[in-house]
Structure 1
Amino acid sequence: MIVSDILYGEYEVEEVLSELIQSKEVQRLKEIHMVGASYLLNPLWNETRYEHSIGVMLLIRKLGGSIEEQIAGLLHDVSHTVFPHVIDLVMKRNQEDYHEKIKEEYLKESSIPEILKQYRFDWQELLLDDTQWKILEQEAPVLCADRVDYTLREAHRYFGTDLAEIHSFLKELSLIDGKIVLRNVAAGEWFNEEYYKVVLDFFYAPVNIYGYEWMSQILTYALANESLSVNDLMETETQILTQLSEMEDTELRGLFRQFYQPVTFLEVLPGDRYDIYQKKKTRLVDPLVRVDETVDFTSNYSEKAQKMNRQAQEKSEKGIYLRVCGIKKE
């Protein structure tokens, strides 16, 4: 099977990866979007968990990761529910980890264990502890394939970062003691800028915040009155939206009307009147770089990186307060 990706190019992958990619569980991710429900309000925000999962697998491959780590990368997000991370608001998971909580149970009932067994892989050993895979997953603020892929993919799609810049950055990646290390400070500063565009300017975009807030209210209501079950959350977003739209429930219909209502927003200060407050998981990045023979954080060489990290920390700790001002004129 040939797999191609706009960021990493074209690769021929092994049979086990091909079969996993074609499984219904991975194919389902084509209808699970990265950005919660906000793609319903802005159709340009249409990146899927499938694209990201393929990207993470290919980046691990590009960096020389084992077939086992590539499998783990491909499947690292397979247990995401519909409208990822909106569910974390519903379930009050401040670390945005509901998909990790349910991962073992979901995989146990899936086709994944049988596929892996055919190729002599133990699904529990491969998939239940991503921290064993040093390219795939690292605690912030250092780089890992997961963090690098969604940053580059969203920076390109939503902020127009040129592919030539991205490909140039990818050439600066190296592995030292299993960790991703950049070859120069300039690459570290560049990645910081792209990362905070995504984490601050995109994740905290008012329409994004609004989309998360209202879809969380819709799903909370639907789960509470048993219009939806927790098992339904493992369907596709198209299926769930169809199911909800067919319900004769006055309050649910009202929530949907308000969700789609074009409105304007004003970001206000703490203490001012606000309608929506969200504080997302704090996400900071400080890539490791190699200078001469020393590996250290970018911020230890760059005042620019230090400043970006301080600003990101402050905004993340504050969260965002939004006032819904009224109907937006078309």
Structure 2
Amino acid sequence: MTVHTLGKNITFVRPTYFIISGFIGIPNIKYYYVFLFFVYIVSVVGNIAVMAVICLDYNLRTPKYIAVFNLAFADLCSSSALVPKVLDIFLFNHRYIPYNDCLTFLFFCYTCLSMQALNLVVLSYDRLIAIIFPLHYQVKVTHRFMLSLIAFFWVLTIIAVLITVGLITRLSFCKSVVINSYFCDHGQIYRLACNNYTPNLVMAILLPLLILWLPLVFIICTYLCIGYALSKVATIQERVKALKTCTAHLSLVVIYFILLLITFILMEKMHPNARIINLSLTSVFPPMLNPIIYVLQTQEIKESVKKLFKFRVLSRITVKQSL
């Protein structure tokens, strides 16, 4: 540990490392690590595939699919920031993580996971304008607007998480360095401090409010407005057609928020191991399922995949015939 004397009776203690203690005492936990590895591979392949399809198909270079591309990118980053390190910590028993590495781990995990929720806000706004103001959609939702909105959310998230990480550096750890979680969790870290952690507690309240609960409220209000607008539509066929354009996004919202809501509602009643596993699932499931949902439920992407696959097959046939 690094010890600094800040005054006559004040000693600042910065640990050399933290110890990640999650998943201890869970039977057959190695099977869960195999499951995490499988989820990670599917996430990487699926999100890279979605990003490649959007890049290769000129018809998908629209504001909506800029947001879909960014969601796939955020999912890929969050999976890559979290799962390999978790497997390294627990599967290979590297539970001792240096202080600076832990804060870096926290920063990337929180930033990428936060962008998933904020990107769902972007997509909900896109659906709101497309359904309620269809004639003005091309004017209101432009490429420039979408890129600016996404860039704003990235900057907002990075600043918020940097403040969160920066506040940890003012804490003194003279009691314990054991983090009862599966990664360098902010809530678990600041509670280990032996000096005043009130600013960290405030940030622990504000950060979820900013990147989870306000986005969820906005999305719910968005769909209430969409539902009200569709109730004014004359025919059922038009309502169903409009709702079909929202099914993929609604599925993503349910998958992302349902496990989080369960965890936060039942937090006090859950066994610590159950809480850790449930939180880990909320982190790894959405990045795996998002690309699958968009490929299966979005007609434009399905058509694009079919065209690209057909083009590749025809190219191979042409090459063989030329040989």
Q: TM-score, normalised by structure 1?
A: 0.26
Q: As a proportion of its length, which structure holds more helix?
A: 2
Larger Rg: 2
- Higher relative contact order (Cα pairs below 8 Å, separated by 6+ residues): 2
